[in-house]
Amino acid sequence: MTSLPKQVRLVEVSPRDGLQNEKRPVAIEDRLRLIDDLGAAGLRYIEAGSFVSPQWVPQMAGSDELFARLSRRPGITYAALTPNMRGFEAALAAGIEEVAVFAAASESFSQKNINCSIAESLDRFAPVIEAAGQHGIRVRGYVSCVLGCPYEGEIRPQQVMPVARDLYQAGCYEVSLGDTIGVGTAGTTRRLFETVAREVPRAQLAGHFHDTYGQALANIYASLLEDIAVFDSSVAGLGGCPYASGASGNVASEDVLYLLDGLGVETGIDLDRLIQAGVRICNVLGRDNGSRVARARLASSTPACS
Ligand code: HMG
Ligand code: MG
């Protein structure tokens, strides 16, 4: 059998990618509670908020207050998105130790999401990455629409590769490849990583799968076969992107953990506590739980009707 990574790091994006897509803003108190529940479950990397324009994404307003009030657990990285220097300066003032910049493999998506071309976005990120380096802050990079775009349709791996390479060469220590609209398959995922890995080492790549077509777990397994060992996921499958209509939530963290546990891959995360975190935030949001594993576990712990 092909060998799989022995350990995987899960990047929990629900407080950012999950909540940014909610119709109504979520109270800071509830955002903080979610982040703390995730830390208690053993997540070691939590994307907690976003320093973007509140006109563009009102749900992430108040991320400065959130970071000011966050009670940090030791050993956990709490990160945030910063699309430009304005966002980076706000993140720095909030005492952040890691930030993320986000580009796209599609010109149209780049315009809709951050109001500039791909090349302009990379120019904007350069001073952010430089300033971050001066302050000892690590920068993660995202590339969106790596397997398809809501405006342009098919995206080829050859379009993704230069954007991922430029982010890596600019100083991002890791580049997360995002299937923003969840159209990828195990086959296209493998070809994507094979291609991008010619320019960015596999240990510096991550997978970020939305589950619109129900392929995310298959795509994660395909990525494991490509020796990718970092995946972004969201408790209860919360999420989506305000600039990719119809994109469903991220793959549910509980479901990814169940897959990894079954493969004997270490993560350090406790499934029961993770399920509890998902249940609590779903109750706050008045939403159904998007994790199949959580739903199955909760149903089996409910006494059968007589
Ligand atoms: P813009 O309008 O071109 O920016 O937006 P601007 O520089 O012209 O500034 C316009 C106004 O916004 C000014 O305010 C700025 O001060 C303010 P005014 O003078 O008019 O009062 N502004 C800011 N305010 C707060 N924080 C900032 C900031 N920057 C400017 N950082 C901008 C450009 C990038 C700011 C905007 O397009 C934006 O905020 N976009 C965010 C989009 C976003 O958050 N999308 C979701 C996250 S990405 C995602 O979900 C994909 C991912 O999950 C991977 C995947 O699934 O593919 C990562
Ligand atoms: Mg996303």
Tens place of pLDDT for every residue, the chain, 306 residues? 579 999 999 999 999 999 998 888 899 999 999 999 999 999 999 999 999 999 999 999 999 999 999 999 999 999 999 999 999 999 999 999 999 999 999 999 999 999 999 999 999 999 999 999 999 999 999 999 999 999 999 999 999 999 999 999 999 999 999 999 999 999 999 999 999 999 999 999 999 999 999 999 999 999 999 999 999 999 999 986 667 676 678 999 999 999 999 999 999 999 999 999 999 999 999 999 999 999 999 999 866 554
pTM for the predicted model, two decimal places = 0.96
What is the secondary structure of 178-235 as a DSSP string?
A: EETT----HHHHHHHHHHHTTTS-GGGEEEEEB-TTS-HHHHHHHHHHTT--EEEEBG
Spacing, Cα 211 to ligand 2 middle (Å): 10
What one-letter code names the amino acid at 188?
Answer: T
The amino acid occupying position 14 is S
Q: Output the pLDDT for position 245.
A: 72
C-alpha 284 to ligand 1 mean position (Å): 27
For residue 246, what pLDDT is reported?
Answer: 67
Smallest CA-to-CA distance from 192 within 173, 172, 207 is with: 207
Residue 121 has a pLDDT of 98
180 CB near ligand 1 (under 6 Å): yes
Is any ligand 1 atom within 6 A of the Cβ of residue 88?
no
Protein residue with its CA nearest to atom 19 in ligand 1? 53
Token pair recorded at residue 26: 């979520």
pLDDT for 240 equals 67
CATH of domain 9-300: 3.20.20.70
Measure 188 CA to ligand 1 centroid, in angstroms.
30
Contact at 8 Å (CB) between 12 and 234? yes
Which of 237, 180, 175 minimizes the C-alpha distance to 14? 237
Q: Is 14 in the pocket of ligand 1 (CB under 6 A)?
A: no
Token output for 142: 């995202």
Spell out the alpha helix ranges (H) of the chain.
28-40, 63-69, 85-93, 107-114, 118-134, 157-170, 186-196, 216-225, 253-263, 271-285, 292-301
The closest of 86, 104, 10 to 50, measured between CA atoms, is 86
Domain range list for the chain = 9-300
CB 15 within 8 A of CB 49: yes
Q: What pLDDT is stored for residue 301 in this prediction?
A: 82
Q: Answer whether 77 contacts ligand 1 (Cβ < 6 A).
A: no
Q: Which atom of ligand 1 is nearest to the CA of 83?
A: 34
Predicted pLDDT at 255? 98
What are the residues whose beta carbon lies below 5 Å from ligand 2 (ion)? 17
87 CB near ligand 1 (under 6 Å): yes
Spatial distance between the Cα atoms of 152 and 268, rounded to a whole number of angstroms: 39
Does 172 participate in catalysis according to the annotation? no
